Structure formats: C-alpha cells, structure tokens
Amino acid sequence: MSDLTAPGGDDQVVPTCPRHPDVISYVRCARCGRPTCPTCQRQAPVGIQCVDCVRESAKNVRRPQSPYGGAVVERPTVTYALIATCVVVYLGQMLVPGLDRQVLFAPVIGESQPWRFITAAFAHGSLVHIGFNMLCLYQFGDALERALGHWRYLTVYLISALGGSVGYLLLSSPVVTASQPTSSWYTPVVGASGAVFGLFGAMIVLALKAGSDIRGLLVFLALNGALGFILPNVAWQAHLGGLITGAACAGVVLLADRGAARGRSLQWLGLAAIAALLVAATVVKYASVSSVPVLGA
C-alpha cells in the first residue's frame, strides 16, 4: 500500500476531491475551502469554486423575468411552434381524407366531442385563411410572447382559442324558423381567428397599461372585425369571444403582482378561473338547449 503523505515528508493526509476521492487535489474551492479536482473546478469571479458551490450559488441568483412575470424570452419559440402546428394540420387536411370532420367545431357536436373547442383553432379552410391568420399570429405573437413569457403566452393563446369557440356557441341557437332558415348551431367553423383576436385583446390591455398609443392597433382591430360582417363564411361570434377572453386574461396577469411568488400564483389561478368560467358557460348553454339532432360523423 502506498504512503499518501503530503510533499515534504510530513504526516499530513494528502487532500482529495470529495466528489472523486481517488483524485489528489491541492487546489481548494474559494467558497467552501474543500479540495476540488480539475473535473470539479469552475472558474468564479474570484478564484476557483467547486461544482457544488457553483450550483448552490445559482439557486440564490434571481433569474431575469419578462415584464409580466415569465422567464425572459430570447426567441418567440412558442409562436413558431403554433404556426408550425397550424401548417402541419392544414397539410393533413389536404392529405388525410376525413381529417376536416374530425377537428372542426360546431355547437351541435361540441357537447359530445368537447376537444373540438380547441382543435378547430388549428385547422383552416383555405390557403388565404391560414396565411392571413399566421401573419397576424407572427406579428402580435412575437411581442406578446416576449412580454408574457413562453408559458403565460401559450396559456393565453389556448384559453382565447377556447373563448372563441365558446363565443360562437353562446351566440348560436338551434332554432330554425321561416325568417331564419339556417342556424349557426349546425354550421361548422375552423380557424385560429378566435385565438388571434384574443392576442389582439391582450395586446390592447397591455398597451393601455403601459400608456402606449393604441390608435393603430384599434384601427387594425376594427378592419379585421369588419371582415366578419363583410365577407361570407366568417364567424364573427368567435372573433368576439376570443377578443373578450384575451383581454380578460391580460387583465388577470396585470392585476396580480408579478414580483412575488404569491402574485405569480394568483396569475395562474386567475387564468384557470377564466377557463373554468368558459367551461361553466358552455355547460349552462347546452343545458338550456333541449334535444338537438347530432351531426353525422
């Protein structure tokens, strides 16, 4: 057995790395004073620290936040992912027979197949339809994702998509009369417009809070809203539902104090409450409707 003594012939035990006991190290961590081998050494602002101290220090460092509580966003990756998802679904609609009927939303089938409240927001009816929606999503999603952070932004988008479908449901009726021979209750809809209008609503609320000039945003919103009454086959009800929902989500984010953990928890609780209200409104609407024929699958 070798005699592990320090250089110079004294009887002191040779220092070894706590993480690698078989490695001798005469370099000590500037923070904790323990020996640290080359594998565990990390360059610090002053001297060398061991990997354990570096990890412990990182826990105490406050990470930079976006203006409304999320992690700082360098690239709007969620916006890119949403656009990519819509494009993939649109390609699937063209290539997979029957996919349209599996993802569209209509009030008459929403009760028995509730996933359609969300899936319809990722499908589109034409190249112009998806092109326009994705352009708006890119323009407004970039700024909102950087302001809210990835997860808050994605949550606002999905809740707004739900709000668009719920708005369409609430403003529809299964009643068909001589003066109203058709009903939106049976008319299927697709498109990210409800979610995109939710981003419009959120952007307006955040801009008002920041004291920004929103006249250009209001003009853009008015022009897009008018299309729902000018062009055929445009579900203005979904636009309105998404707009109101997105504005409400942004209001919840603003009301909670982002600077404290409790405030950030209140943001999430508020967003969950909005989603719950939408679900409750859906349940009440369907309960108020008597027997409705089911659209054939």
Catalytic residues: 193, 239
Sorted by sequence, the CB contacts under 8 Å of residue 250 that are 6+ apart come out as: 156, 201, 202, 203, 204, 205, 206
How crowded is residue 188: how many other Cβ atoms within 10 Å of its Cβ?
20
User: Could you tell me if 78 and 145 are in contact, meaning their C-beta atoms sit under 8 angstroms apart?
Assistant: yes
User: Could you tell me if 147 and 206 are in contact, meaning their C-beta atoms sit under 8 angstroms apart?
Assistant: yes
User: Could you tell me if 217 and 207 are in contact, meaning their C-beta atoms sit under 8 angstroms apart?
Assistant: yes
The three-state secondary structure class of 38 is coil
Question: Across-strand partners of 13?
Answer: 5
- State how far Cα 219 lies from the chain centre: 26
Question: Across-strand partners of 239?
Answer: none
Provide long-range contacts, Cβ within 8 A and 24+ apart, for 86-91.
Answer: 86/122, 86/123, 86/124, 86/130, 86/133, 86/134, 86/137, 86/192, 87/130, 87/134, 89/122, 89/123, 89/124, 90/123, 90/124, 90/130
Residue type, position 71, single letter:
A
The three-state secondary structure class of 82 is helix
3-state secondary structure 103-163: HCECHHHHCCCCCHHHHHHHCCCCHHHHHHHHHHHHHHHHHHHHHHCHHHHHHHHHHHHHH
